[in-house]
């Protein structure tokens, strides 16, 4: 079991089941979020994250990465193909670029992945380490240390202000 000191100590599976060592994101701020494209918050959260991603991850700067983990513990199950299609549709219709998508995970219980155990240990939130819904966002600094946790109802200004400080 890897307790980890930063997110860079973890390896996860991408949407195609390839192992990805998160140390590839070293030097960038990361927003790690559990998603469901069939959740009512999906469009709102993605449209909030897209301009931030565009501003802080572009041709001249790569200061922000958004890591999206499908999670079906809070509602309807989806196939990985449905997730790909839904995110591609969001991207095409709204010209959104939003980040990297990983394999389905569980964020609570005995099948919770080590990365999320680490995130919840570092930023337990008001539920004592339990994640109560999709679109819970963990923000890490450029050293991979979680510094903030937000629920799906976060106002974009809070996220913008924090990212402006962390990315500069």
**Phi then psi dihedrals of residue 82, to 5 deg:** -65, -40
Q: Are strands 146-150 and 137-140 parallel, antiparallel or unpaired?
A: antiparallel
Cβ distance 135 to 124 under 8 Å? Answer: no
**CA distances (Å), origin 2, targets 108, 116, 117, 135:** 17, 12, 10, 25
- Nearest of 165, 163, 164 to residue 31 by alpha carbon: 163
User: What is d(CA 8, CA 3) in angstroms, rounded to the nearest whole number?
Assistant: 12
Low-confidence ranges of the chain (pLDDT < 50): 1
Say if residues 8 and 23 touch (Cβ distance below 8 Å).
yes
Tell me what pLDDT residue 152 has. 82
The H or E element containing residue 141 is none
The pTM is what? 0.90
Q: Which domains does the chain have, with CATH numbers?
A: 7-167 (3.40.30.10)
Rounded Cα gap, residues 44 and 41, in angstroms: 5
Contact 35, 135 (CB under 8 A): yes
Residue 61: the pLDDT is: 76
Dihedral (Cα; 1, 29, 103, 69), 10-degree rounding = 100
For residue 143, give Cα distances in angstroms to 9, 25, 103: 11, 9, 24
Taking the C-alpha atoms of residue 65 and residue 60, their distance in angstroms, rounded to an integer, is 14
Question: What is the distance between the terminal CA atoms of the chain, rounded to a whole angstrom?
Answer: 34
So what's the pLDDT on residue 78?
82
* Residue showing tokens 């992945």: 113
Output the pLDDT for position 1: 40
């Amino acid at each position: 079991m890897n307790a980890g000191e930063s997110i860079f100590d973890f390896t996860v599976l991408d949407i195609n089941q390839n192992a990805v060592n998160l140390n590839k994101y070293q030097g960038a701020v990361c927003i790690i979020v559990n998603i469901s494209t069939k959740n009512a918050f999906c469009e709102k959260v993605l449209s909030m994250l897209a301009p931030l991603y565009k501003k802080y991850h572009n041709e001249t700067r790569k200061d922000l990465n958004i890591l999206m983990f499908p999670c079906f513990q809070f509602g309807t199950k989806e196939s990985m193909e449905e997730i790909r299609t839904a995110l591609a549709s969001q991207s095409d219709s709204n010209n959104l670029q939003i980040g990297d998508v990983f394999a389905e995970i569980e964020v609570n219980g005995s099948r919770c992945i080590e990365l999320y155990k680490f995130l919840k240990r570092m930023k337990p939130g008001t539920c004592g380490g339990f994640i109560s819904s999709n679109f819970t966002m963990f923000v890490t600094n450029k050293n991979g240390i979680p510094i903030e946790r937000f629920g799906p109802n976060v106002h974009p200004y809070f996220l913008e202000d924090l990212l402006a400080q962390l990315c500069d």
